[in-house]
């Protein structure tokens, strides 16, 4: 986002009960289950969910064993699909699996052997982004959208709004002047609910229990409230996989930066960290966030590209949008000097062979504060600043 003058930017998020996010969480729950038994598990797991059915497919090579029935049903239960009248629930849905081993051709390039270090699990391009718009060093629209979606789930789980059901969406439009966010222009909420609640009650509750709890008062004004749209079509009783087929990896912009910057060629969920779609994107975010935290740049987009079976990236690109205190060539030198970019080294450095992925599968992979999200640490910022020759002032 490099526009000058006043302009708007919009991002969306979805709740954990959105059908696509159900699938992301199922895929990552399977990954977590296998990594807890065999940290070297190779997993590429896709999930489809529709009325009464969860279908698991993909390639898995592991020394562990996954009870697909148990993992899927537990995940669906924890999300909140617990009653048959939701049209989809953990007790009655069918669970089917069609799984085979990872291709031996891929394994040759990915597995470390004498004389061959671990290469990338596929060709691909990964992006990392960071900016100063929020304390998480993330774009403001996606962070506010995530927080609204998470709050929708919280008030449902805590029974503050007991008529809510698991499916839901949020959308936030922010007005900018140049790169600086000024105010929230519009908010859109879609919240699944039971058949008995009156729509005006739901809308009033969400204004007070969700929006006012999340959007800072200095960002919302009377003009914003004129553009708050809650369940714009009226009723939203039919939701989840019964209303809309879910598929793993269909919310990649929700997963990353909300449409700000660029997205690489693949999704994250259901993939073990040997897939650079995941580990490379996490490392790119880690690099970008540390560069912003160091004060070297105020905003940066980073691209790393790989070839299958090759350890070193084939290219690195940085775009600082004119905010850098040093040259972009120097920034690339700092990246090479301070950050591991080979797949095995990235996996080790960020401790990615752990069962940490279910949490990533809802409310974004970036801008998180949980300790498992090692790529959100800014522990390299001070060293980067020193090596860049910048003062501490």
Contact 300, 248 (CB under 8 A): no
Question: May I ask the CATH class of domain 19-110?
Answer: alpha beta
The pLDDT tens digits of the residues spanning 20-47 come to: 999 999 999 999 999 999 999 999 999 9
Alpha helix (H) residue ranges in 300-342: 328-338
344 phi/psi in degrees, rounded to 5: -65, -40
pLDDT for residue 309: 84
Are the C-beta atoms of residues 166 and 81 closer than 8 Å to each other?
yes
What's the whole-model pTM score?
0.94
The pLDDT assigned to 106 comes to: 58
Domain range summary for the chain, segments of one domain joined by +:
6-15+139-240, 19-110, 124-132+255-387
Residues of the chain with pLDDT below 50 are 393
Determine contact, residues 117/110, Cβ cutoff 8 Å.
no
Alpha-carbon distance of 69 to 158, in angstroms, equals 27
6-15+139-240 CATH fold: GMP Synthetase; Chain A, domain 3 (3.30.300)
Same fold flag, 19-110 and 124-132+255-387:
yes
The helix/strand/coil state of 180 is strand
Give the model's pLDDT for residue 112. Answer: 60
Q: Which pLDDT tens digit goes with each residue over 6-21? A: 999 999 999 999 999 9
DSSP 166: E
CA-to-CA separations, 382 to 265, 295, 342, in angstroms, rounded:
32, 9, 23
User: What is the CATH class of 124-132+255-387?
Assistant: alpha beta
pLDDT at 19: 97
């Amino acid at each position: 986002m490099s526009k000058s003058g006043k302009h708007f930017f919009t991002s969306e998020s979805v709740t954990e009960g959105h059908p696509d996010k159900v699938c992301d969480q199922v895929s990552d729950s399977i990954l977590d289950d296998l990594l807890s038994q065999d940290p070297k598990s190779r997993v590429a797991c896709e999930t489809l969910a529709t009325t009464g059915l969860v279908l698991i497919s993909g390639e898995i090579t592991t020394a562990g064993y996954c009870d697909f029935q148990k993992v899927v049903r537990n995940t669906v239960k924890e999300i909140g699909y617990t009653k048959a009248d939701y049209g989809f629930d953990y007790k009655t849905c069918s669970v089917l699996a069609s799984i085979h081993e990872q291709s031996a051709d891929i394994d040759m390039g990915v597995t470390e052997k004498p004389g061959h270090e671990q290469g990338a699990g596929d060709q691909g391009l990964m992006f990392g982004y960071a900016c100063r718009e929020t304390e998480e060093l993330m774009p403001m629209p996606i962070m506010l959208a995530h927080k609204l979606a998470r709050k929708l789930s919280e008030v449902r789980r805590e029974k503050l709004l007991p008529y809510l059901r698991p499916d839901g969406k949020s959308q936030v439009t922010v007005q900018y002047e140049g790169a600086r966010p000024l105010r929230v222009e519009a908010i859109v909420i879609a919240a699944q609910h039971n058949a008995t609640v009156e729509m005006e009650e739901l809308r009033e509750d969400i204004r007070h229990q969700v929006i006012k709890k999340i959007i800072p008062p200095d960002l919302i004004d009377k003009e914003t409230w004129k553009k708050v749209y809650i369940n714009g079509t009226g009723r939203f009783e039919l939701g989840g996989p019964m209303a809309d087929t879910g598929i793993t990896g269909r919310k990649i912009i929700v997963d990353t930066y909300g449409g700000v910057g660029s997205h690489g060629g693949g999704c994250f969920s259901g993939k073990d960290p040997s897939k650079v779609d995941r580990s490379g994107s996490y490392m790119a975010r880690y690099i970008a966030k540390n560069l912003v935290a160091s004060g070297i740049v105020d905003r940066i987009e980073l691209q790393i590209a790989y070839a299958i079976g090759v350890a070193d990236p084939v290219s690195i690109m940085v775009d600082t949008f004119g905010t850098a205190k040093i040259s972009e060539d120097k920034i690339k030198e700092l990246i090479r000097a301070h950050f591991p970019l080979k797949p095995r080294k990235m996996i080790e450095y960020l401790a990615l062979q752990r069962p940490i992925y279910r949490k990533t599968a809802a409310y974004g992979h970036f801008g998180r504060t949980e300790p498992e999200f090692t790529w959100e640490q800014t522990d390299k910022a001070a060293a980067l600043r020193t090596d860049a020759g910048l003062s501490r002032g």
